[in-house]
Structure 1
Amino acid sequence: MPSRIVVTPRSAHGHPAIERLRSAGFEVVFPSPGAVPTPEELIASLADSAGYLAGVEPVPRSVLIAAPRLRVISRNGTGADSIDLAAAEELGVRVLRAPAANAQGVAELTVALMLAAARSIPFASAAIARGEWGRREGIELAGRRLGIIGAGQVGRRVARVALALGMSVRAFDAFPDPSFAPDGDFAFAELDDVLSGAQVLSLHAPPARQPVVDDRALALMPRGAILVNTARATLVDERAVLDALDTGRLRTYATDVYQVEPPGMTPLTTHPSVIGTAHLGGFTRESIDRAMTAAVENLLDALDSDRERPGDD
C-alpha cells in the first residue's frame, strides 16, 4: 500500500503540482476538497499518513498526536502560526515552509489597499452601485511618509513601489538588511521613529506576543494616518484601532487578516472606515503556483530523505 499524503489547501485541489505526488507513488487524500477541514476530518485522514501538505487550518497538538506515522508538514506559504510547533518538534514532525512564494502577491495587495484607503475607492464604488454620486475628498500618497514594520520579502517590495510613487519610507526590522538600499528617500529606523512619522503604516512582521499597534503606537502616529495590515491580525489591538477610527486619529484601517477567519460581522468589519478583504494577499494565480510547487518539492525532498535514512527499513 502506498504511503499517504493529506492535502488541505483549497487551491490545491486540481492543481497540476499535486500530480507529482501521485507520480512519486504516494496516495493523495483531500479531507475536504474546496473547504477548510475540521479537526475531526484532519484526525481521520492523518491517522495513517506520512506527509501533510497544509493550508491555513489550525493544527493543534491533539491532531498531531492522532497522526503517529506523520513525518513532515509542508506549508504552501511562509507562515506556520496555525501549527503547534512545540508539539510537532516533540513528536518528531518536521514543519517546512515556502518562503517568499506569495511575497509579490501580498505586496501588490498592500499597495492596492494603500491606494484604496487614500482615495476611498470602496465607498465611491458602492455609491455608484447604488445609483448615487458619492465622493469623498482623497489624499495623494506622493510626498507622504510610509512606515513599514517588518522589512522582509514583502516589506521591501512595498518600499520600492512606495518610493516610485514619490513617498519617503522608514522601515523597522529586528534584523535590518544593510544591503537593502533602494533609490529614493529610504532608511531603516527605530520603531518609535517609524511610528511617529508614519502617515501610512504597513505591517509585514512575524507573529508577536503583544500587538505592535496598540494605544501607545497609535498615539505616536500622525493624526489621520492610514493603517494597512496584510500580515497577521495579532499585530493589531482591534479595540485600540476602533477607538482611533472613531476619534479620527486613523483615517482608515485596511486589513486582509482577522482574529477569526472568516470574521463574520463584527464592530471592526462593519466600521465605515475599515476596508476588508478576505485573506487574499497570496490568492493570485502566480503566487498559488509558486507556493504549491515549493510545498510539493519540500514534501517530496523530506520524505525521500527519510526513506534513505539507515535503519528505516
Structure 2
Amino acid sequence: MTHSHGRIMVTPRSAVGHPAVERLADAGYDVVFPAPGAVPTPQQQRAALADCVGYLAGIEPITRETLAAAPKLRVISRNGTGADAIDLDAAAELGIEVLRAPAANAQGVAELAVGLMLAAARSLPFAASSIAAGEWGRRQGIELAGRTLGLVGAGQIGRRVARVALALGMRVRAYDAYPDASFRPDGDFAFTGLDDVLDQAQVLSLHAPPAARPLIDRTALERMPRGAVLVNTARASLVDDDAVLAALQSGALRAYAADVFDPEPPGRTPLTQHPAFIGTAHIGGFTEESVDRAMAAAVDHLIHGLDSGRARLPDEQ
C-alpha cells in the first residue's frame, strides 16, 4: 500500500531471522542480506549497498571506497561498540551518520573478563586439557580474594568487573580518564592514577578505548607486582605483545588472557603458543543476551537515524 522508505543492507551473521531485524520491514524498509549467515565479501558489500539508504553493519571493514560507491547511504548502525573497521573520516565527509550500541555487550564482556581472571588464577585450560588427554595434571593456583585488581577503564564494563571482584574479596583500584565520582560500590574501591594502578595490580584488567600506542608496554609491565595476571577483553592495540611474551618467559607475569588480537584470528605465534597464555576468539559480547541487546539497539538507532534524516529530506521517489 505504501511505498518503501528505501533499502537497508544487513550483514551481522546473527541478524538473519532475528526479531529485531523484522522491525525494519515493519517500519517500511526493504531489507537485503548480501551474505546471510556469513561476512560479506567487499564485492557483495558494494553491490548491495549501491542503492541502500541504511546499513546495519557487523564486523566487516567499511572503507572509503565502499562508502563512495553508496551514494544514497545516510546511516550506518553497528550492532556493537566498536567502529574500528569503519573509515569514520570518509563517513563524515560524505555526510553518513555512524551509530553504535556501546553498552549492549557490557555484561557479557565483564563476565568473560572475570572468567579469564579465574581461568588464569587456577590454570583452568591446562587442567581441563589434561583430563581430556587422560592425564592428572595439577598446577597450584592462587586465590583472588585478598589480592588487588587494577582496572584501566571504569566505564560500563569496568564497573561491572569491579563489583564482582569486590564480591570475591578483592581490593580494586581503577584508573579512568573521566572517573564517575558517583560510583561508590561496597568494598575496598578507589579511583587513582594509572601509575598507582600499575604499581598495585596483582591482576590487571583492561577496559579502555583504543590507544595510539600500547598502554601496557615493557615500562608498564616492570611497574607491576611480580607474578601478576593480565587480562585484555578490550583492544589488542592496548598491549605490546612482545613485551608481554618477555614478561611471561621471565615469570614477571603469571599469565596473560586475551579475547582480542591483531590480526583476528592471530594464527600460531610465540605468544599464543606460550603455556601461560589463555586466548578466546573475541567472544566477549557473544552471548545470547548481548547479541539480542546489541541487535535491538542497532535497529532502534537505524530507524531513528533514518526517520529523523528523512524529515529533513524532500519527498523520496
Which TM-score tier does this pair reach, normalised by the shorter chain? over 0.9
Kindly report the root-mean-square deviation, in angstroms, between the aligned alpha carbons of the 2 structures: 1.1
Give the superposition deviation at 1:308.
Answer: 1.2
Query: What is the rounded CA distance, in whole Å, between the counterparts of 2:53 and 2:310 in structure 1?
Result: 11
2:199 aligned to which of 184, 196, 199: 196
Q: Which amino acid aligns with 1:223?
A: R
Q: Deviations over 1:170-219 (max 9, x none)?
A: 00000011101111110001001100111000000011101111111101
Which residue is equivalent to 1:240? 243
Asked whether 1:309 is paired with 2:312, we answer yes
CA distance in 2, matches of 1:253, 1:36: 29
For the residue of structure 2 that corresponds to 1:309, the secondary structure is coil
Residue equivalent to 1:13 = 16
Q: Distance in 1 between matches of 2:43 and 2:245?
A: 36
C-alpha separation in 2, matches of 1:44 and 1:253: 42
TM-score normalised to structure 2 length: 0.96
Report the counterpart of residue 117 of structure 1 in structure 2.
120
**Matching residue of 1:285:** 288
Q: Distance in 2 between matches of 1:230 and 1:14?
A: 29
**2 CA distance for matches of 1:120 and 1:250?**
13
Unaligned runs of 5+ in 2: none
Structure-2 residue corresponding to 1:167: 170
Question: Match of 1:67?
Answer: 70
Unaligned runs of 5+ in 1: none
One-letter amino acid of the counterpart of residue 250, structure 2: T
User: Which residue among 142, 146, 149 is the counterpart of 1:143?
Assistant: 146
Is 1:39 the equivalent of 2:42? yes
Range that drifts further, 61-70 or 1-10: 1-10
The one-letter code of the counterpart of 1:80 is A
Quote the offset at 1:77 in angstroms: 1.0
Q: Match of 1:252, SS?
A: strand
2:279 is matched with which residue? Answer: 276
TM-score when normalising by structure 1 = 0.97
Offset at 1:8?
1.1
- The residue that corresponds to 1:252 in the other structure is 255
Matched, 1:264 2:251: no
Q: Distance in 2 between matches of 1:101 and 1:312?
A: 34
Cα distance 1:175–1:312, how it changes in 2: closer, same or farther (>3 A)?
farther
Structure 2 residue aligned with 1:180? 183
Pair 1:91-2:94 in alignment = yes
Distance across 2 between alignment mates of 1:174 and 1:47: 40
Is the partner of 1:210 in helix, strand or coil? coil
Distance 2:88 2:270 in 1: 32
Q: How does 1:206-217 map to 2 (within 5 A)?
A: 206-217=209-220
Aligned residues: 313
Residue type at the aligned position of 2:59: V
